[in-house]
A and B are shown apart, each in its own frame.
Chain A
Amino acid sequence: MSATRRAHLALADGTLFEGEAFGAEGASTGEVVFTTGMTGYQEVLTDPSYTGQIVTMTAPQIGNTGINQEDDEAVGCRPQVAGFVVRDASPIASNWRSKETLNAYLARHGVVAIGGVDTRRLTRIIRDRGAQNGAIGTEPPDVLVDRARRAPSMEGLDLAARVTPQAPYDFTEGSGEWNVLPAPKGGDRPRVVAMDFGAKRNIFRCLVESGFNVTAVPATTSAKDILARSPDGIFLSSGPGDPAAVTYAIATIRELLGKKPIFGICLGHQLLSLALGGRTYKLKFGHRGLNQPVKDLTTGRVEITTQNHGFVVDIDSLAGRARSTHVHLNDGTSEGLEAPEARAFSVQYHPEAAAGPHDALYLFERFRQMIGS
């Protein structure tokens, strides 16, 4: 980042932001979203749920701790975002675990990024006008605006298809020295088959640490094939895009209902809801951050949670079929449900954190208990 290259971020509505290019050369388009986490940019960059999105960090000093080998969230260990927007990118990396600078990492993986942007104004625009498409690059501003306008809308996009694995695989990696889950009781290791819509690695790590043998399968895997693996439980992973567009997976889940205990996270929560006959809709600018308050309606306690979703479940549409278990304290939207007859439960937020607080790790234990009972 020695010689600065002027660059712009253009929004589809014509708003322009000036900054300096970093990361890879070129241009990039996607839905522009913001996340308010002050830590965890590496996890954000590698979270497959951000596929197709240009992500803005509201925290201004980004890249300080560089990139390390342990904190990638994508199973394939590469960045997933369509582009990256920050206020002030660190030219150096300072951390005992760091292997390279943010700039080198993004350049190596072809991710276009822009620094020096008034990210606060950008965030306020997204907040007030809703998420919209944008483009970043060193091209003239009008070209970028045009690119932004031509980018496809997120609604109706099946992005899970882009990030789901091509073939089943076993996931055996644990959290190592970072594990904070209690050691599972009993020596048996139940088998869980995870429908991988673009899961975060830490979800699988948490399942492993909770005593499961984890096999991930592509989103298109049929119910029959899943059941053929004789799982003790089925897990529905997080992932990107509009849940309503993933029709094939909704059909599969509907077939699986009641057959095996099911646990879903984020996109998995939305797909479970749709399979139960519910409805989802898009939030104005989504919940993205590490500080989102969720109330557990069973215990009355508040969890500070990691969230990253633009779509949300209309819990009223599930009346009689599922019970609301968790709500967002700020806007009252659905954060969790339980369908006792179907032996299924799911949460909209990310109990596996990474990045974020560990307040909701108990859900993995709850899944384990559900299978055991």
Chain B
Amino acid sequence: MPRRDDIEKILLIGSGPIVIGQACEFDYSGTQGAKALTGLGYDVVLVNSNPATIMTDPELVRRTYVEPIEVATLTAIIERERPDALLPTLGGQTALNAAIALHESGVLSKHGVRLIGAQIDAIRKAEDRQLFKEAMDRAGLECPRSRHAGSVAEARDFAELTGYPVILRPSFTMGGSGGGIVRDAAELEAKVAWAIAQSPTRQVLVEESVVGWKEYELEVIRDKNDNFIVVCTIENIDPMGVHTGDSITVAPAMTLTDREYQRLRDAARAVMHEIGVETGGSNVQFAVDPKTGRMLVIEMNPRVSRSSALASKATGYPIAKIAAKLAVGLTLDELENDITGTSAAFEPTIDYVVVKWPRFAFEKFPGSDGRLGTQMKSVGEAMSIGRTFCEALQKAARSLETGKAGLTSLVGIVDYRALLEDPTAARDLVHDAPPMARPRASAPPPADELSAFLERVVTQPTADRLFHVADAIRQGISLERLHALTAIDPWFLEQLGRIVAHERAIHQAPELDARLLLESKRLGFSDVQIARLRGLTEGDVREARSARGVHAVYGRVDTCAAEFVARTPYLYSTWETESEAEVSDRKKVVILGGGPNRIGQGIEFDYCCCHAVFALRELGLETVMVNCNPETVSTDYDTSDRLYFEPLTLEDVLGICREEAQRGELLGVIVQFGGQTPLKLAVPLERAGIRLLGTTADAIDRAEDRERFDALLSKLKLERPRAGIAKGAPEAKRIAADIGYPVLVRPSYVLGGRAMMICWDEAELDAYVELAIEAAREEGGSQTLLIDQFLKNAIEVDVDCVADGRRAVIGGVMQHIEAAGIHSGDSTSVLPPFSLAPSVVAEIEHSTRALALELGVVGLMNVQFAVKDGKVYVLEVNPRASRTVPFVSKSTGRPLAKIAAKVMVGETLDALGVKDEPVPTHVAVKESVFPFAKFPGVDTILGPEMRSTGEVMGISVSLPLAFGKSMAASGYSLPDHGRAFISVQDDDKPAACDVARRLRNLGFSIVATGGTAQELENARIPVERINKVLDGSPHVVDAIEAGTIQVVVNTTQGAKAIRDSYSIRRTTLLANIPYFTTLSAARAAVDAMEVRFVAGRNISAVRSLQEWHQRSRRATSG
């Protein structure tokens, strides 16, 4: 059966910005899908608003639209491109929802666009809980008892019938947004109301609880001939009650007999059939009663998912690629398994164990609830592969980069009393900085007290629960008791027990002989763990291993448990008797990836790593990728020549270098593309004799060490804000007083502005210092504090450049819309600058070049500047790939990361023909996207600590148009009438008058509180006064809740004002209306509204990235 020939052009929709529940995995699936379809000769048109993706690389398909994924824009693209078909199953929930919306608007039928991969009926049946339940009834399968509720009363009726707890699942949301467990009647009202508000259809399913049951997922594929395969089974270590994205999971399933497993398989097949998924990959989730084996179907996703990315990486079976081919009519038996050359119509079998461990970022969201439930809260994940569960589990633990070298003890690190008193306690750095008893190195409580603490702590699923369980085992609490407390399967607990028992063996052994070392390694112990248990250093253990010949070997991920020869070098380390690495004799480069996604380190760095691979392959070098993030494109087996799915620790990377250096020539390791993760390894790797490519570790140190940095700036005669380094609170106060408030405070060596804060007075500084010192310790950094003068109302500018040691070329200059003080990762960036004098831009470019040359940068460098009163200050220099590299590359059409990679292996910018280019003939805006909706209670105000998870890009011929697009892409539609609420701090009042006037001209009426209202009245702008929350009802929050406010402008300064206005921002977030916490952003939004006012409602001037770039080039050459 050949591919469908009635289709030529296919529209592929991506998943948009990275948010909790939708991360890089859809770049992986979209990229695979686009490559597969292009490979079959189809013309692929791609839409994704996220510029940091590989799928939006202009070389991948003919037409790439970096445009908002919403009906009006998609309609314009469909009208322009006239695709024959739409493939919505590779872009997550976003793409599925977009497909439904397009169908409902009639656009698809009007233009004869056929859905492929999944039909509307199937999507509806899978997504609508009621329809799903009915379908399962027809298939003879059981679901938990449930009912749909559109109101709190309906939910209460059901809960009283079945008893508490009950589970809430809002319809049509992803990552379980708005869902949760209602434990008792007291919790019901607030949680149901929140859940209903989160659902686009204002419906929530209230469901019988099966908390504590075993949880399984099957990743399945079906083709149009009803051929069906299970690619992978996944078992959750955390039983039902924790969202699968937040659960530690294992593949394959560990605690089912074949009969029990086949029952799940039969059910999954019946689900696919009944839902009517014609072709493609899906995911079916089950709950199994551990006492009786009773099986319930929980849900299914008729599309590829985070789990299918995991399953693909876990087995080597590329689900998205196969799904894309099946969508155009091919069948499984016509496709080949790339890895073995045998048929793709089979079920992968694996001879190793895979563990996925989620990564959380609660510390970024003060006030958030650290307890895990049915709504996903993790921001990333690490996957590991080992020959045994223990090995894989410990590898996963150290892959997370949360300072744990394995399943290590938290006793003495965690303050159990504080944890128990308030499980929702999280640090609160943006405002309030309370004197909270935070985890710190405290003397552990006495043993009996500790056991009692642990018994209570383990009952509640949290990010660190498995560590607490291991500590409970160390305290002698029985596995039976722990099973009763946690409902974790006894088999898993037994394995944890093995690890704990072996710790004792390591500790007590007379000497570290080869057998003990090997046994330890086979249970997943890292050198660091062994060192700590023996009172040695990591280096000692490495030497001991080396002396005794105990080295890792590398196995192949081959889909078939060695039944056939694997052609792809997709490798994992283990401790067996034979290595299958088959190292080549080529010249090779090792590229270190970014590890698990977290706030501040995400897809942007994976993009850079992939580009390094592409560039070096072009030069004929062998590329060796190392990463442990299963969501990424970089861990696709056909991205690099060789892939090591390994933790990014010194030990693991040295092992790989040792293996790769056995033959051929290892030119060196690239650490500057994967963000902080590999960068932290730069110095240790260099000390271990590994050559780093590009900028030297010393240059990195010069940019990061404050004193050396100051010397560098003095030498180049560059200005920076006044600053000082403090070792403790008294010194901090003295320095701050010298510099003058406000000051920007942060611990040295942090990621993503972690624990950074603006202190407006000494009281705020005091409250902060303690917390910041602790954050630094958790990061493994020193306890010194950096105190900088805070430049109020300065303009912030980001520059990315590439240098070869002799010459530096500016990649892009970006001006932030928000004033300095908002973390650059959270601010809105505009390329090219929109309000800077040409002389200032020239000075910035000149300074950037000077810095690059002085530091001897070979590769990428990012510099952050602040401009105040025409004067340019250097804020920060990062001689490595920055978060903005993909945005700059997508905006300008120049692949910066590729150029940098080539330079790092010795090419020159001259030889590559890279020179400064004129500014593009378009404007690109990068807007950040935040996960606040996932964290009930968290403040949404922006500050120096980065909190965004992702970004979108808007591109057009002017700033207002591009800004409007970026707003739409980040999920807000700007209103064109209604009431605007304005409440601003004193400094902003003059500018607020201007914004108010312009909003009024657009037809808005203005609502304001006290001071702002007075100011507006003075400016003779009619305004309706409204109460502040403190003034009592009816106040502004009431109005927002009632839906009578359409846009909010709210700026504040200082801890108290921020605290007082918190409920405004939170309510605004829930109401999903546009809100601006900086006046500059508000101004840009009003600009966008004005343009739309003039041009009419339906302007959707869509253009592909390729066209924008070509246009710009033509303007340059012409």
Name A's B-contacting residues (CB within 8 A): 17, 34, 36-40, 42-43, 58-61, 64-65, 68, 70-71, 87-88, 90-92, 94-97, 118-121, 123-124, 127, 178, 180, 289-293, 295, 300-302, 304, 329-330, 353-359
Residues of B within 8 A of A295 (CB): 333, 345
Are B353 and A61 in contact, CB atoms less than 8 angstroms apart? yes
Residues of B within 8 A of A121 (CB): 576-578
Given that A90-B494, A121-B576 are known contacts, is A58 also in contact with B561, CB under 8 Å in the complex?
yes
Are A120 and B387 in contact, CB atoms less than 8 angstroms apart? yes
Does B342 interact with chain A (Cβ within 8 Å)? yes
Which residue of chain A is the closest to B389 with respect to CB atoms? Answer: A61
Are B561 and A59 in contact, CB atoms less than 8 angstroms apart? yes
Give the distance to chain A from B464, nearest Cβ to Cβ, in Å. Answer: 24
Residues of B within 8 A of A180 (CB): 266
Give the distance to chain A from B110, nearest Cβ to Cβ, in Å. Answer: 36
Residues of B within 8 A of A42 (CB): 257-258
Give the distance to chain B from A64, nearest Cβ to Cβ, in Å. Answer: 5
A40 to B265 CA separation, bound complex (whole angstroms): 14
Are A58 and B229 in contact, CB atoms less than 8 angstroms apart? no
Given that A120-B576, A354-B258 are known contacts, is A61 also in contact with B388, CB under 8 Å in the complex?
yes
Partner of A289 from the list B255, B261, B349, B577 (CB cut-off 8 Å) is B349
Does B351 interact with chain A (Cβ within 8 Å)? yes
Q: Please provide the 10 A-B residue pairs with the shortest distance between their CB atoms, ordered closest to farther.
A: A40-B258, A355-B258, A58-B561, A39-B258, A329-B343, A291-B347, A94-B491, A123-B562, A330-B342, A58-B351
Given that A58-B351, A60-B352, A92-B491 are known contacts, is A120 also in contact with B257, CB under 8 Å in the complex?
no
Are B562 and A124 in contact, CB atoms less than 8 angstroms apart? yes
Residues of B within 8 A of A70 (CB): 259
Are B259 and A304 in contact, CB atoms less than 8 angstroms apart? no
Are A302 and B227 in contact, CB atoms less than 8 angstroms apart? yes
Are B226 and A304 in contact, CB atoms less than 8 angstroms apart? no
Does B291 interact with chain A (Cβ within 8 Å)? yes
Residues of B within 8 A of A178 (CB): 259, 263
Name B's A-contacting residues (CB within 8 A): 225-230, 233, 252-263, 265-266, 290-293, 331-333, 342-343, 345-353, 387-389, 489-491, 494, 555, 560-565, 576-578, 580
Are A37 and B352 in contact, CB atoms less than 8 angstroms apart? no
Given that A295-B333, A301-B227, A304-B346 are known contacts, is A59 also in contact with B387, CB under 8 Å in the complex?
no
A60 to B252 CA separation, bound complex (whole angstroms): 10
Partner of B351 from the list A43, A120, A356 (CB cut-off 8 Å) is A120
Which residue of chain A is the closest to B233 with respect to CB atoms? Answer: A38
Partner of B578 from the list A36, A96, A118, A304 (CB cut-off 8 Å) is A118
Residues of A within 8 A of B387 (CB): 60, 87-88, 120
Told that A94-B255, A302-B333 touch, could you supply 4 new A-B pairs with CB distance under 8 A? A39-B258, A120-B387, A304-B229, A359-B228
Give the distance to chain B from A141, nearest Cβ to Cβ, in Å. Answer: 15
A302 to B254 CA separation, bound complex (whole angstroms): 27
Partner of B563 from the list A61, A92, A127 (CB cut-off 8 Å) is A127
Give the distance to chain B from A6, nearest Cβ to Cβ, in Å. Answer: 11
Which residue of chain B is the closest to A285 with respect to CB atoms? Answer: B563
Partner of B555 from the list A65, A94, A120, A289 (CB cut-off 8 Å) is A120
Are A36 and B563 in contact, CB atoms less than 8 angstroms apart? yes
Are A39 and B347 in contact, CB atoms less than 8 angstroms apart? no
Give the distance to chain B from A342, nearest Cβ to Cβ, in Å. Answer: 29
Are B563 and A289 in contact, CB atoms less than 8 angstroms apart? yes
Which residue of chain B is the closest to A116 with respect to CB atoms? Answer: B522
Are A60 and B353 in contact, CB atoms less than 8 angstroms apart? yes
Give the distance to chain A from B232, nearest Cβ to Cβ, in Å. Answer: 10
Give the distance to chain A from B580, nearest Cβ to Cβ, in Å. Answer: 8
Are B258 and A71 in contact, CB atoms less than 8 angstroms apart? yes
Residues of B within 8 A of A17 (CB): 577
- Looking at chain B's contact residues, the main secondary structure is loop
Given that A71-B259, A301-B227, A355-B258 are known contacts, is A91 also in contact with B494, CB under 8 Å in the complex?
yes
A68 to B349 CA separation, bound complex (whole angstroms): 24
A118 to B555 CA separation, bound complex (whole angstroms): 11
Give the distance to chain B from A91, nearest Cβ to Cβ, in Å. Answer: 7
A192 to B372 CA separation, bound complex (whole angstroms): 57
Are B258 and A356 in contact, CB atoms less than 8 angstroms apart? yes
Are A358 and B346 in contact, CB atoms less than 8 angstroms apart? no
Which residue of chain A is the closest to B332 with respect to CB atoms? Answer: A302
A293 to B344 CA separation, bound complex (whole angstroms): 9
Residues of B within 8 A of A96 (CB): 290-293
Are B349 and A65 in contact, CB atoms less than 8 angstroms apart? no
Partner of B562 from the list A39, A127, A301, A357 (CB cut-off 8 Å) is A127
Given that A58-B562, A118-B577, A289-B349 are known contacts, is A40 also in contact with B257, CB under 8 Å in the complex?
yes
A304 to B580 CA separation, bound complex (whole angstroms): 28
Are B252 and A59 in contact, CB atoms less than 8 angstroms apart? yes
Which residue of chain A is the closest to B352 with respect to CB atoms? Answer: A60
Give the distance to chain A from B874, nearest Cβ to Cβ, in Å. Answer: 54
A359 to B353 CA separation, bound complex (whole angstroms): 26
Are A43 and B578 in contact, CB atoms less than 8 angstroms apart? no
Residues of B within 8 A of A97 (CB): 257, 293
Given that A289-B563, A302-B332 are known contacts, is A123 also in contact with B349, CB under 8 Å in the complex?
no
Which residue of chain B is the closest to A299 with respect to CB atoms? Answer: B225
Partner of A58 from the list B262, B349, B489, B576 (CB cut-off 8 Å) is B349
Are A330 and B346 in contact, CB atoms less than 8 angstroms apart? yes
Are A291 and B388 in contact, CB atoms less than 8 angstroms apart? no
A37 to B230 CA separation, bound complex (whole angstroms): 13
Which residue of chain B is the closest to A124 with respect to CB atoms? Answer: B562
Residues of B within 8 A of A92 (CB): 490-491, 494
Residues of B within 8 A of A292 (CB): 346
Are A358 and B489 in contact, CB atoms less than 8 angstroms apart? no
Are B252 and A38 in contact, CB atoms less than 8 angstroms apart? yes
Are B254 and A64 in contact, CB atoms less than 8 angstroms apart? yes
Which residue of chain A is the closest to B492 with respect to CB atoms? Answer: A94
Residues of A within 8 A of B346 (CB): 291-293, 304, 329-330
A290 to B346 CA separation, bound complex (whole angstroms): 9
Partner of A37 from the list B225, B345, B349 (CB cut-off 8 Å) is B349
Are B333 and A293 in contact, CB atoms less than 8 angstroms apart? yes
Are A39 and B292 in contact, CB atoms less than 8 angstroms apart? no
Are B256 and A60 in contact, CB atoms less than 8 angstroms apart? no
Given that A68-B257, A91-B494, A302-B227 are known contacts, is A38 also in contact with B343, CB under 8 Å in the complex?
no
A124 to B582 CA separation, bound complex (whole angstroms): 14
A61 to B225 CA separation, bound complex (whole angstroms): 35
Which residue of chain B is the closest to A288 with respect to CB atoms? Answer: B563
Are B333 and A329 in contact, CB atoms less than 8 angstroms apart? yes
Q: List 13 A-B residue pairs with CB atoms under 8 Å apart, sorted by A's residue number.
A: A59-B349, A60-B352, A64-B254, A120-B562, A123-B563, A127-B562, A127-B563, A178-B263, A289-B563, A290-B258, A301-B226, A304-B347, A356-B262
Which residue of chain B is the closest to A202 with respect to CB atoms? Answer: B259
Residues of A within 8 A of B290 (CB): 96
Residues of B within 8 A of A358 (CB): 262, 265-266
Partner of A59 from the list B259, B351, B555 (CB cut-off 8 Å) is B351
Residues of A within 8 A of B489 (CB): 94
A334 to B133 CA separation, bound complex (whole angstroms): 42
Interface-central residue, A34, A94, A300, A356, by most chain B CB under 10 Å: A94
Which residue of chain B is the closest to A291 with respect to CB atoms? Answer: B347
Given that A60-B387, A96-B292 are known contacts, is A36 also in contact with B560, CB under 8 Å in the complex?
yes
Give the distance to chain A from B479, nearest Cβ to Cβ, in Å. Answer: 9
Partner of B349 from the list A38, A71, A118, A354 (CB cut-off 8 Å) is A38
Are A291 and B349 in contact, CB atoms less than 8 angstroms apart? yes
Give the distance to chain A from B353, nearest Cβ to Cβ, in Å. Answer: 6
Residues of B within 8 A of A59 (CB): 252, 349-351, 561
Which residue of chain A is the closest to B265 with respect to CB atoms? Answer: A357
Given that A127-B562, A358-B266 are known contacts, is A39 also in contact with B388, CB under 8 Å in the complex?
no
Partner of B348 from the list A61, A65, A95, A291 (CB cut-off 8 Å) is A291
Are B388 and A88 in contact, CB atoms less than 8 angstroms apart? yes
Residues of B within 8 A of A301 (CB): 225-227
Which residue of chain B is the closest to A88 with respect to CB atoms? Answer: B388
Which residue of chain B is the closest to A289 with respect to CB atoms? Answer: B349
Are B258 and A60 in contact, CB atoms less than 8 angstroms apart? no
Residues of A within 8 A of B253 (CB): 38-39
Give the distance to chain B from A256, nearest Cβ to Cβ, in Å. Answer: 33
